[in-house]
A and B are shown apart, each in its own frame.
Chain A
Amino acid sequence: MAPDELLARLSSTLRHDIGPAVVEPFPKTQAFMASVILEKLSAQIRLASTHTEAEAADLAALAADLPRLLGAAPVPPTVAAAVDRLTAGDGSAALSALVAALWAEREALGADRFQTVLGRARTTMRARIDRQMEFAA
């Protein structure tokens, strides 16, 4: 049995067989919570491979777009460093660093460039949270 299927079955057993048999309120709540957690973990594990690939593709596409969107004007060092981290495949931590650098340097970037680059990053963040909502909601 695949791990995600096993977790889903454990979740169902907790919800339908174990939880209802528990009388005390606190342990009963704990049994129900365990069921919910296993259900979400099951979905997260089932989707993990697909999500990891999509995440990597999205971040690579963002990294590829950024030099053009930032243009020829000087780029603040923290923004440039975050772009380098994204290009190097540093994952969501690099995306966080980019967003933090954009807010910190928005005046240096100028309103238009700030909005353009942040807007592009937000497209990536929207796709990322949509994936997470597939198992978290």
Chain B
Amino acid sequence: MTAGTAGDGAAMEDRIASYLRDQLHAADLVLSGVERIAVGWSHETWLFDATFTQDGVARTEGYCLRRDPGNALLREMSDLGTQFRVLRCLEPTAVPAPRGYFYEDDPAILDSPFLVMEKVPGVCPSPWGRDGRRFYEEAAARGELPRAFTDALVTLHTLDWEAAGLGFLGVPETGTGFAQSEVAKWKRLIESTGVEPDPILVDLIGWLEANAPATDRRALVHGAYRTGNFLCHEDRVSALLDWETEVIGDPMYDVAYVLSDLNREGTELLSNLVERDDFISRYEAGTGIEIDIDACNYYQVLYGMRSAAFWMSASGLYADGRNTDLRLARTAWSIPVVLDRAARDLGY
């Protein structure tokens, strides 16, 4: 088996079990309910239960293993080692996140780097499908999950990230430092594709560099805070997922994502879940931060650049023959759609 393939499922199951027997000092450990779930485009995700004896007591624990297939979207932007460190830093905090158990970068174990974390109870319906939309519509009607959605963001943005040890993510300079660093980051991803950028994308980058908002606000920013990127359990947010675009920066970056109409479909509810006014008032009351609409508008334009970078990278992975998933090939035609919107954002 080579990096970039899921490998034979049964063989992978044996190798995971062998690894956990060593780590947990549990020779009798057996796995059950092993499932490779088809979520996200960045890492392979495996869920399973492990039953073993520890200190004479039989126990069963749920685990989630994420493995770097070596050819995934955003691989260059956020490695599993960084994600593992973030999870470990969050463990003693109130931020709902899975506990990180193990991280390995030795390819001898499972061919490529992987992390093992807690399997948190909950479901994560995609907001883009009919079933997911119905799930969030019903949850919105009950009212608890919309409040939990806002409260989890409040918890994230009020976290003392320095005390939590998250400064290793890099702290942007005050003033326009955060916005400039994000533009530079996505510009690097665009340049890494080796594709000549579309003139509208060049215009968009020029505008973003010239209009970066100045702010001294700093928080742990998730970077993709929306339905579909957290687990819901009994109308609570049981865990924030997809720690691939996390960054220390302006919390308005997340707020802009929540307010964006890109994250809802067929509804006025933000992220298919929460009334705009309710979100704003609850967020401001919980964080003590007044939402800066001008900054949000800027970050929404920045999300256009980020989307273009995503799709250029994704379609490039297919074009280069590094990934055979046709969903990536399809994104080549998403680039003009994103740029059409970006041009409208810039007034043409």
CA distance A98 to B110 in the complex (A): 49
Q: Which of B198, B336, B337, B340 contacts A92 (CB 8 A)?
A: B198
Tell me the dominant secondary structure on chain A's binding face.
helix
Spot the interface stretch: B46-54, B159-167, B324-332: B324-332
A93 within 8 A of B: yes
Chain B 181-222 interface residues, beta-carbon cutoff 8 Å to A: 196-200, 202-203, 205-207, 209-210
Please give, as numbers and ranges, the residues of chain B lying within 8 Å of A29 by CB-CB distance.
38, 327
Contact assessment for A125 and B348 in the assembled complex, using a CB-CB cutoff below 8 Å: yes
Contact A106-B200, Cβ < 8 Å, known A129-B343, A132-B336, A136-B336? no
Name the contact of A106 in the complex, choosing from B210, B330, B337 (C-beta under 8 A): B210
Q: Once the chains bind, are A99 and B336 in contact (CB under 8 Å)? A: no
Contact A100-B340, Cβ < 8 Å, known A106-B210, A123-B348: no
Q: Which residues in B have their C-beta under 8 angstroms from that of A130?
A: 340
Question: Is there contact, CB below 8 Å, between B336 and A125?
Answer: no
Pick the contact of B348 from A37, A93, A95, A122 — CB < 8 Å?
A: A122
Decide: A95 and B199 in contact? CB cutoff 8 A.
yes
Q: For the complex, what is the distance from the CA of A8 to the CA of B273, rounded to whole Å? A: 38
A103 contacts B210, C-beta separation under 8 Å? yes
B209: A residues at CB distance < 8 A = 103
The count of chain A contact residues (Cβ–Cβ below 8 Å) is 35
CB < 8 Å neighbour of B199 from A37, A121, A136: A121
A99-B206 contact given A30-B325, A121-B199, CB 8 Å threshold: yes
* 8 Å CB interface, A101-115 against B: 102-104, 106
Contacts of B335 in A (CB 8 A): 136
Partner of A30, one of B196, B198, B326, B337: B326
**A25 at the B interface (CB under 8 A):** yes
Q: Are B197 and A122 in contact (CB under 8 A)?
A: no
Indicate whether A99 sits within 8 Å of B38 (C-beta atoms), given known contacts A30-B325, A33-B330: no
Q: Chain B interface secondary structure, helix, strand, loop or mixed? A: helix
- Expressed in whole angstroms, the Cα–Cα distance for A120 and B155 within the complex equals 47
Q: How many residues of B contact A (CB 8 A)?
A: 28
Contact B202 A122 (CB under 8 A): no
Would you call B339 an interface residue if the criterion is a C-beta within 8 Å of the partner chain's C-beta atoms? yes
Give the complex CA separation of A121 and B348 in angstroms: 11
Shortest distance between the CB of A107 and any CB in chain B (Å)? 10
Which A residues are CB-close (under 8 A) to B196?
92-93, 96
B339 contact set on A, CB distance < 8 A: 129, 132
**Smallest Cβ-Cβ distance to A131: which chain B residue:** B336
List chain B residues, Cβ under 8 A from A40: 333
* B residues in contact with A126, CB < 8 Å: 343, 348
A128 within 8 A of B: yes
Roughly how many angstroms separate A122 CA and B348 CA in the complex, as a whole number? 7
Interface: A34 (CB within 8 A): yes
**Cβ–Cβ contact A133 & B337, under 8 A:** yes
Docked-complex contact B329 and A99, CB < 8 angstroms: no
**A29-B327, A123-B348 known; A136 and B333 CB under 8 Å?**
yes
Chain B residues with CB under 8 Å of A103's CB are 202-203, 205-207, 209-210
Inter-chain contacts of A125 with B (CB < 8 A): 199-200, 203, 343, 348
| A96 and B327 form a contact (CB under 8 A) | no
**Bound CA–CA A34/B166 (angstroms):** 42
Q: How far is the CB of B329 from chain A (nearest CB, A)?
A: 6
Q: How far is the CA of A95 from the CA of B202 in the complex (A)?
A: 9
A36:B330 contact, CB within 8 angstroms: yes
Task: Determine the distance from Cα of A135 to Cα of B336 in the docked complex, in whole angstroms.
Answer: 9
CB <8 Å contact, A129 and B326: no
Are B206 and A100 in contact, CB atoms less than 8 angstroms apart? yes
Residues of B within 8 A of A33 (CB): 326-327, 329-330
Beyond contacts A100-B206, A103-B206, A128-B199: 18 other A-B pairs, Cβ-Cβ < 8 A, are A29-B38, A92-B196, A96-B198, A96-B199, A99-B202, A99-B203, A99-B206, A103-B209, A103-B210, A106-B210, A119-B348, A122-B343, A123-B348, A126-B348, A128-B200, A133-B337, A136-B335, A136-B337
A residues with a Cβ closer than 8 A to B are 25-26, 29-30, 33-34, 36-37, 40, 92-93, 95-96, 98-100, 102-104, 106, 118-119, 121-123, 125-126, 128-130, 132-133, 135-137
A-B contact list, 9 entries, CB within 8 Å: A25-B38, A92-B196, A92-B198, A96-B196, A103-B209, A106-B210, A125-B343, A133-B337, A136-B335
The 10 A-B residue pairs whose C-beta atoms are closest, nearest first, are: A103-B206, A33-B326, A132-B336, A136-B336, A95-B199, A122-B348, A136-B333, A99-B202, A96-B199, A96-B202
